Amino acid sequence: MRITVIGCGYVGLVTGGCLADAGHEVFCTDNDPVKMQMLEAGKVPIYELELDTVLERAQKSGRLRFLRNSGEAIRAGEAIFICVGTPPTETGEADLSAIDNVARMIASEARTPKLVIEKSTVPAQTGQELKKVLAVYSRNGEVRFRVASNPEFLREGTAVGDFFHPDRIVVGVEDKESERQFREIYKPILERTFSCPVHTGACPATGTPPLLFTTIASAELIKHASNSYLGLKISYANTIADLCERLGGNVEEVTQAMGLDPRIGPEFLRAGLGFGGFCLPKDIQAFVKLADRAGVEFGMLKEAERVNRRRMDQFLEKVKRALWVIKEKRIGVLGLAFKPNTDDIRLAPAMEVIRRLLAEGADVRACDPQAMERTRALYPNITYNSDPYAIARDADALLIVTEWDEFKRLDWKRVRELMARPLVVDGRNMLDPKTMMELGFEYHSFGRAELSAAVAAP
């Protein structure tokens, strides 16, 4: 099928790249000329595992094209995926101006019938507004638009694998023709006729992912309801961690046992610095606002947000308690991206950690395998080094903010020898407290026994 993708960010590139790689003819466009220039030149503007392989293969096959002329891109596809950003406004609601902008553009540029698909995360009722905009701005009243919602569940860091091997595909439609088109779009995924970029050899033998057809409003709600639930789960685990700290339990033992109950499941029960990134915080905020406007009190989500905000204070309190005075201390921040295997720093906890450390006069040094360039644009005056050992040298403290494997695998004995003072505050419970204590560190994490060589000495 001929498919148009508008918005070449994380979601647009993965959607467009994977659909083209799987056999469709895809036309991608974006209003950022710098991004388009890079993409035309075969460069990938974001870091996402296997995305470069997928885009290169699809471009070489001629099935994936990047078009600066958005009108041309719109006219080329039978189905149009809208993948533009929906960032939070000052009040926490989703800013839908990019969606509105794209809808008006589609209405004026289309010459033939189109299936217009919301892939961006939007609040319920957006589909109805989209339909209205497409109708009223259509210059040529004869063009028929059908609107659908197809929320995206990919996780940055494993996005390509998630696209080819989804847990479920949710589609909100209003008519049989749209349903038929979606079956065609996702046929290569459902029948596994793609050449998998993630697995060498055969893909794991999981069943066909469920393709769920719902109303448009349900599909929109499913996305916000899912992300908000994940946020709730993390905040729940973090509150258990607080209890463990007060009562002497170990949060990992508690959440591991909880997760073995299939009704609970082990995912998203990791205690630590809390959730960040472009999706969870903004989607919860937008869902709370949506509920408020609908007259439904969603207090438990507000509490989940509050618990999450408090994590940052608690983390920095741990740093302060250990260091006493922050001013002029050399503090190494390990991890800038909001999670491992991405370069995305949008609403990443590390940004707030750095802001607060600088406000207290710390000498901040930072390291991340992928996100240093992006962070430099925000904090040009701190010291960056891609070598974590260089960050450790003469440091008064190391803060673990993102649990990259590269940090897990460090020679921590060497790290201790390099540091001015062997203090590690682990915001991700990435390391084992006992091992760290045996290596001679003062080590603090969330919801686990506070150990230090001095304290543990017989």
CA geometry: angle 226, 230, 231, nearest 5 deg: 120
Verify binding: residue 130, ligand NAD, rule CB under 6 A.
no
Closest CA to 129 of 141, 112, 139, 116: 116
Of 160 and 382, CB closest to ligand NAD: 160
- Cα–Cα distance between 4 and 319 in angstroms, integer? 49
84 binds ligand NAD (CB under 6 A): yes
7 binds ligand NAD (CB under 6 A): yes
The CB-of-120 to ligand NAD minimum distance in angstroms stands at 3
The HSE-up count of residue 94 (CA atoms within 13 Å, CB side) is: 27
Nearest to 344 by CA among 199, 159, 167, 162: 159
Least Å distance, CB 303 to ligand NAD, is 23
Nearer to ligand NAD, 32 or 253 (CB): 32
Please give the C-alpha separations between residue 410 and each of 218, 387, 404, 407, 423, in angstroms, as whole numbers: 46, 10, 10, 5, 15
Least CB distance to ligand NAD at residue 342 (A) = 8
- The encoded tokens of residue 210 equal 């469920």
Q: Is 279 in the site for ligand NAD (CB under 6 A)?
A: yes
| Interaction of residue 102 with ligand NAD, rule CB under 6 A | yes
Of 12 and 272, which has the nearer Cβ to ligand NAD? 12
**Contact region with ligand NAD (CB under 6 A), list: 10-18, 19-27, 253-261, 376-384:** 10-18
Please report which helix (H) or strand (E) contains residue 161, including its range: helix 159-164
Q: What is the DSSP letter of 48?
A: B
Q: How far is CA 303 from the centre of its chain?
A: 21
Site for ligand NAD in 64-83 (CB under 6 A): 83
Task: Choose the catalytic residue: 8, 18, 196, 279.
Answer: 279
CB of 234 closer than 8 Å to CB of 274: yes
Q: Where are the alpha helices (DSSP H) in 214-369?
A: 216-247, 251-259, 280-293, 299-323, 349-359
The yes or no reply on residue 326 touching ligand NAD (CB under 6 A) is no
> Would you count residue 149 as binding ligand NAD (CB under 6 A)?
no
By the rule CB under 6 A, 169 interacts with ligand NAD: no
103 binds ligand NAD (CB under 6 A): no
Number of residues near ligand NAD (by CB under 6 A): 25
CB of 195 to ligand NAD, least distance (A): 24
Which residue sits closest to ligand NAD, CB atoms considered? Answer: 9
120 is an interface residue for ligand NAD by CB under 6 A: yes
Instruction: Point out which residues pair with 81 in neighbouring strands.
Output: 5, 117
118: exposed, middle or buried (C-beta count within 10 Å: 0-12, 13-18, 19+)?
buried
244 carries an active-site annotation: no
Shortest spacing between CB 12 and ligand NAD, in angstroms: 6
Sole binder of ligand NAD in the list 21, 50, 93, 156 (CB under 6 A): 156
Interaction site with ligand NAD (CB under 6 A): 6-12, 30-32, 35, 83-86, 98, 101-102, 120-121, 152, 154, 156, 278-279
Catalytic residues: 279
